[in-house]
Amino acid sequence: MDVVIGIDTGTTATKGVAAAADGSLRAQTSVHYPLSVPGSGRAELDPLALRNAAVKALIDVATACRDNGDHVVAVGLSAFLHAVVPMDAAGSPLGPLVTWADGRAGEQSERIVADGRGKRLQARTGTPVHPMSPLTKLAWWRDNDLETLQRTPRWGGVKELVLAGLADAPFAVDLSIASGTGLYDIHERRWDPEALELAGVRAEQLAEVLPTTTTLRLRPDVAQAAGLDPATPLVIGAADGPLANLGVGATPAGVAAISLGTSGALRTVVDRPTADKAGRLFCYALTEDRWVIGGAVNNAGSVVRWAGQSFAGGFERPGAEGEDADERDAALLIEAQGAPAGSDGLLCLPYLLGERAPWWRPGLRGAYLGLRREHGRAHLVRSAVEGVCQQLALVKDSFTAEGIELSSVRATGGAVASELWVGVLAATLDLPVSVADTPEGTALGACLLARHAIGELPDLDAAAELVPLGARTEPDQENASLYARLRPLVETSALAVLDVVKELDKLAPQPLPTTEKAVQVTPR
């Protein structure tokens, strides 16, 4: 059988799959690596481990394909957004890879927003000005280590790093990843002069931007190790968010994708780069004529995991002794179904990790409002789920303000295994929600884009027919009306307590590193 391999480089693991023309998976693997948190607000990865994981995932899946008797016709790449790594002229990393979760650039982000440049930059680049973005990360380097910033030959991200390990190609990046840097003008299709000035880098330090369907060649040593023909097309691919839409078949007009795992995101596909006037949505490329707009939220399944750790001490069900965290979370969610919609007047602001969309305010903090004696654990957990779903509904409201109407949602991620999550999601969005039966949707999206690049999938919307869907959950209209009435209170409450939060933050202890030391990398 002819198959395409998709390699998806994620924050804590690189996943590889081989998919047949009908979208079915013929092989898959996962290569894990630790996230280093060397100090408060830091989040880094060892770039060599990341690059080696991509090579290993390719070799493992190609070997499984060969054992299955399958023929690999192409390889497609996916990578997570908003990372920065210093590189030498040969493409080797010179230091740790700073991930999207790193918050060291908070001061730089606030300064750019405060002086009025934030919305102008977002309108041109499609990327909100936020500590996650490479623009603000490089501005941090400019303010703290200008010499290193200027003398480093190359600055790249995950895709540039992986390509240096897999591709026999020049220093390059795909349009999708470039559109998420905050440095690239998505309308003029060039590195943005004002953004470069703010970041303190020169265009020649950044990669050549190529269409997401560009076909490259594998490095001969990698092709040999994987047992692949060196002429096998290596499609440069796109970023993980746009490819997740493709991987669940959420590309036709009006169909949205929701990823609901540790964090969450709501995205839909449009046919041109779109900048919303309020600056609440991102806009990243899938291809040159298909663009994904949406918003990501920092807090989703992580909130229920926190609730389990905080509220479920000694929580046991008959026969459940020794259950792991996933089982405990599932039990909590079942218990929370016993609480009514609206949690009897309890409102959760679920910002344990700050927040991104739709306000892009990293200083937000979590809270429960309306807490009364009669509220129990079921109310607390249900309210947390409702708070996350309300945040995603605020992203959907931003679509509506731009004249983009949604008709249905395809959801994926660990959280949507819960009946409570899906039901609350459908009611807060007031849309039918179908769970996509694609555990590796992003990697499958990389496969589908690669098939498109080699001419075997002319219409990307055909992917909608390839993805199996579970039962469709219709919104409970009574609950939908209740959540719509409550939603304005979320925004009012979240923004009203910002000044209080800033004072409380001064009293909070600084988080300790979760690893003994930061990632240290020297050039090979």
Look-up of token digits 């002319």: 458
The pTM (predicted TM-score) of the whole model is 0.91
Closest by CA position to 343, among listed 398, 293, 388:
388
**DSSP assignment, residue 500?**
H
Exposed/middle/buried for residue 93 (C-beta within 10 Å: 0-12, 13-18, 19+):
buried
Enumerate the H helices of 209-324 as residue ranges: 220-226, 240-247, 301-311
Q: How far apart are CA 381 and CA 114, in angstroms?
A: 36
Residue 472 and residue 432 in contact, taking contact as beta carbons nearer than 8 Å: yes
pLDDT band at residue 510 using 50, 70 and 90 as cut-offs: low
What is the Rg, in whole angstroms, of the alpha carbon atoms belonging to the chain? 22
Q: Which residues contact 481 (CB under 8 A, 6 or more apart)?
A: none
Quick one: which of 1, 84, 5 has its CA closest to 45?
84
CB 384 within 8 A of CB 296: no
User: What is the distance between the alpha carbons of residues 6 and 18, in angstroms, rounded to a whole number?
Assistant: 6
pLDDT at 255: 97
The pair phi, psi for residue 490, each rounded to 5°, is -65, -50
Does residue 69 contact residue 2 with C-beta atoms inside 8 Å?
A: no
If DSSP codes are grouped into helix, strand and coil, which group holds residue 216? strand
Residue 139 has pLDDT above 50, yes or no: yes
pLDDT, tens digit, 9 for 90 and up, residues 208-253: 999 999 999 999 999 999 999 999 999 999 999 999 999 999 999 9
Task: For the chain, give the percent of residues with pLDDT over 90.
Answer: 80
Q: How far is CA 9 from CA 33, 92, 159, 217, 491, in A?
A: 11, 17, 8, 19, 34
Residues 343-396: pLDDT tens digits?
A: 999 999 999 988 899 999 888 899 999 999 999 999 999 999 999 999 999 999
Q: What is the mean pLDDT of residues 120-136?
A: 96
Where does the pLDDT of residue 320 fall: very low under 50, low under 70, confident under 90, or very high at 90 and above? Answer: very low
Tokens of 92: 């080797």
